[in-house]
């Protein structure tokens, strides 16, 4: 079945550092890929998405590129801020099953 694997957290960075959170997936067909962010005490918010190979999703300085050859969708940001501290979830959407499959989440802690 479909699955998403994310790097273990927590990831601890200093403000203005470069961020990479790895995400790889297993799926049949051609899924859509998503990154969601969850701030403390809140629900998940869609951060960015890509619907086909080589698409780049971007939002709020975050980027991720859909790499079919490596089945990856790594999240990057050039300069993190304390306000980026949150849990980040990678997810895939299978056209045959409408529900998303989520990774286990990666906690990011940004220190001033």
Partner 1 sequence: DAGVIQSPRHEVTEMGQEVTLRCKPISGHDYLFWYRQTMMRGLELLIYFNNNVPIDDSGMPEDRFSAKMPNASFSTLKIQPSEPRDSAVYFCASSYSPGLGYTFGSGTRLTVV
Which residues make up the interface to partner 1 (CB under 8 A)?
32, 34, 36, 41-46, 49, 51, 89, 93, 95, 97-100, 102-105
Query: How near is the Cβ of 89 to partner 1 at its closest, in Å?
Result: 7
Q: How far apart are CA 48 and CA 104, in angstroms?
A: 17
Cβ 33 vs Cβ 73: under 8 Å: yes
Query: How near is the Cβ of 102 to partner 1 at its closest, in Å?
Result: 4
Burial call 24-41: b when 16+ CB within 10 Å, e when fewer:
bbebeeebbbbbbbbeee
Nearer Cβ to partner 1, position 15 or 68? 68
Nearer Cβ to partner 1, position 49 or 77? 49
């Amino acid at each position: 079945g479909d699955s998403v694997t994310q790097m273990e957290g927590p990831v601890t960075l200093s403000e203005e550092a470069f961020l990479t959170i790895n995400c790889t997936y297993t799926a049949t067909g051609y899924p859509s890929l998503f990154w969601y962010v969850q701030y403390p005490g809140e629900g998940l918010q869609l951060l960015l998405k890509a619907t086909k190979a080589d698409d780049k999703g971007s939002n709020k300085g975050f980027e991720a590129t859909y790499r079919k050859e490596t089945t990856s969708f790594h999240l990057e940001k050039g300069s993190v801020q304390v306000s980026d501290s949150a849990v980040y979830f990678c997810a895939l959407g299978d056209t045959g099953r409408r529900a998303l499959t989520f990774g286990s989440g990666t906690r990011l802690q940004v220190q001033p």
